Amino acid sequence: MTTTRQSARPRTASAAPAAFPLHKRVLTGLAAVSILGAAGCAGAEADAPDPATTTSGVSAAPVEETPAAAPEQASDGAAGSQTYQDGTYTETGGYQSPAGPEEVGVTITLEADVVTAVEVEPMPDNPTTTTYQERFAGGISDAIVGKKLDDLAVDKVAGSSLTSGGFNDAAEKIKSEARG
């Protein structure tokens, strides 16, 4: 049997007595921190001074506060933040297709800056353009209804990517008109 020998370490003044091992000291420290933390959090609300009394416990004159804004004033501010006037707007947008310049009619209904309805009227000059504008007209509602007018970024709808250029052109005209 082999015996291992431990080296003797000299005791210093900072070393803890053997009767109180390291793991117990750590647990005791954690418990103390936990208790102090909980007491500090719980005492924060309980120890809050009454604003109507001074430190000597004598009543002080109440401090006058500025009244909060009335609800009517707050709602007026919210209405003032609307960028566009509610209503239905119709414009024609133009774009370039491989067959030449094309146009598409766009009608957008707005309520509180949000698109609530949209219609696209195909105005093709070319048979191929007819197909794409009709596809676009059939899918645009799902893409933009419920979105804010300023958030519209139509790129490709129902396989039609060029018609979106005409739509975006018309939407910019509608934004200008709706600002009033």
Tens of pLDDT along 1-42? 555 555 445 454 444 445 657 666 666 666 665 565 554 544
- Please give the model's pTM, rounded to 2 decimal places: 0.56
CA-to-CA distance for 84 and 86, rounded, in angstroms? Answer: 6
Amino acid of residue 144 = I
CA-to-CA distance for 137 and 105, rounded, in angstroms? Answer: 10
Q: Which residues contact 131 (CB under 8 A, 6 or more apart)?
A: none
CA-to-CA distance for 171 and 91, rounded, in angstroms? Answer: 8
Residue 47, pLDDT > 60, answer no
**Helix/strand/coil for 112:** coil
Identify which has the larger pLDDT, 128 or 54: 128
- Reported as a pLDDT band with limits 50, 70 and 90, residue 81 is confident
